[in-house]
Amino acid sequence: MNTQIAPQILAKAQEWLNMPYDAETSKKVQQLIDNDPKELEESFYRSLEFGTGGLRGIMGVGTNRMNKYTVAKATQGFANYMKKMFPGKSLAMAIAHDCRNNSPYFARITAEVMSANDIKVYLFEDLRPTPELSFAIRELNCQSGVMITASHNPKEYNGYKAYWEDGGQLIAPHDKNVIAEVEQINSLADVKFDAKNELIEYLGASFDNLYIERIKGLSLSPEMIKRQKDFRIVYTPIHGTGVKLTPQALKAFGFEAVYNVPAQDEVDGNFPTVISPNPEEPAALKIAIERALEVDAQLVMATDPDGDRVGIAVRNDQNNFVLLNGNQAASLLIYYLLTKWQENGKLKGKEYIVKTIVTSELLFDIADKFGVEKFDVLTGFKYIADIIRKYDGKKTFIGGGEESYGYLVGDFVRDKDAVSSCAMLAETAAWAADQGKSMFTLLKELYVEFGFYKEKLLSVTKKGKEGAEAIKAMMEKFRNNAPKLIGGIKLIQIKDYQNSTTQNLLTGETLAIDLPKSDVLQFVLEDGSKISVRPSGTEPKIKFYFGVKASLAAVNLYDETDRLLDDKIEAIKSSLEIS
């Protein structure tokens, strides 16, 4: 026995050496015990937990890895919870998966365990985007849903997004309660593996058509699109699920000049053409931009592996492609939506938008202009879905978004939707073109009207058990020893979402925050700058969000003001000594 292995970890690992664990799994665990105590510790030191995106982890053997057994236990716990919450009711779940390695396998295991628990399963026959799974839950009157995906994480990861009957991801108390049910499963003997195949129904193209028809109904300017039907667009799914339905949605809207990126149309969980399949990363759009230059396109769009987030690139004043961040794309989309809702006479006084607390305040400025109500929620689109659920039948949701490239228009989906967002962002770009403008020019005009908002995100990766401890220590440092000056600017307000308090450092007044508790800190500076700090709920990272603002007197002063705001962000980053 390797004495470097902690006794409690070794004991957990040894449980995996015998039946009912299969021989291949047991062999891999024994190899870790004999040869790799560090990896053994990482694989068994904890059990995977639901975060802002559900269950997510590196694939492999162990309680802290995504594998057949962790997926089955999570599913059994979920099934047990469903039965407690809906006693005596016939239950149903929708299940989908993305392009990742093992995703079809994990989806099938989920379906088998659910059916073994006498729960009807609607299983998509092949990979489908996350938003279609959310749509299916509501459309088919399911009590829950599961999407097998790790979103934009590296290829080594997979995950299990759990949804409730409203089509949104699990939130409190359901998320914690499901985990509690999982933790009560002491052995695999508690898991029902014997599938009842008669309870598994497959969903295919006919259901896709229902989803596309609902997306088509979102269009606000069909006549304009007829004029702009040749507006040139390049779209890439980056080897993911968007390849199936996003071009179909663009076609349904009336766009006829949509170009693909052949090398990235191939569905592949290894993502061979990119370092990371994350549309937030400039490198992920490189091949698509090259394609756009070839075909003289005006807009580039790229979706992540499970088709819920989209990154875009547009032409600047020099006719070169520039990437827009999530705040900029969300602002343009919301501005277009509210403008057209007003022009079309659809604003009746009960409409609203939603953003997350780390997303640009520009969205709220735009909402104020149109007299539209707005809501701030915690990071995670499930909280946007919760607002929609809360006001179902009372108020009308127009749209919402978050800085991490997730947007939603309409309420028939209750998660971020890259398929419909691609269609609506293309409509926004075509609307600008119909006025002789680019998206970039339209953005600068927003800055002149509302102020130049500039945001940047810094993610610091801290992997494994040691990394988790380091992230916790960083949060404690900022929470207990907040700097008085940040970037040479006075700190005047601290919002601590963990303690649900807002502290005004000028007056000493402390107010309550009416949101669920979350490990997030926000520092507001004297000049209006805002810094947010939070551990990621889905990745081994701590994230720093920087938001600064300046007036922009004219569009021709954009570059100069942009540099000044960059300098301010760099000064703030430097003063925080982040490493």
List the catalytic residues: 151
Q: Is 464 helix (H, G, I), strand (E, B) or coil?
A: helix
Residue 149 near residue 161, CB atoms below 8 Å: yes
- Write b or e for each residue in 257-286: b if 16 or more Cβ atoms lie within 10 A of its Cβ, otherwise e: bbbbbeebbebbbebebbebbbbbbeebbe
Sole residue written with tokens 């809906």: 86
The whole-angstrom separation of Cα 154 and Cα 463 is 13
**295: which residues sit within 8 A by CB, 6+ positions away?**
232, 234, 259
Backbone angles phi, psi at 111, to 5 degrees: -65, -40
As a whole number of angstroms, the distance between CA 269 and CA 139 comes to: 29
Separation of alpha carbons 502 and 511, rounded Å: 5
Output phi, psi for 554, to 5 deg: -155, 155
The span from the CA of 517 to the CA of 494, in Å, is 15
- 545 CB burial (10 A radius; 0-12, 13-18, 19+): buried
Contact 387, 341 (CB under 8 A): no
φ and ψ at 56, to 5 degrees?
-155, 135
- Distance, CA of 199 to CA of 201 (rounded, Å): 6
18: which DSSP letter? S
- DSSP string covering 278-292: -TTSGGGGHHHHHHH
Cβ count near 493 (within 10 Å): 17
Locate 447 and state its tokens. 């800055």
35's CB contacts (< 8 A; 6+ apart) are none
Site of tokens 């006794």: 7
Compute and round to an integer the Cα radius of gyration of the chain.
24
Distance, in Å, from the CA atom of 258 to the CA atom of 123, rounded to the nearest integer, reads 30
Q: What are the two backbone dihedrals, phi and then psi, of residue 172, each rounded to the nearest 5 degrees?
A: -60, 140
Residues with Cβ within 8 Å of 555's Cβ and at least 6 positions away in sequence, in order, are 441, 444, 445, 447, 448
Calculated CA dihedral for residues 386, 392, 395, 396, nearest 10 degrees: 80
Instruction: Judge whether 145 and 136 are in contact, CB under 8 Å.
Output: yes
**Pick from 385, 396, 390: which is nearest to 168 by CA?**
385
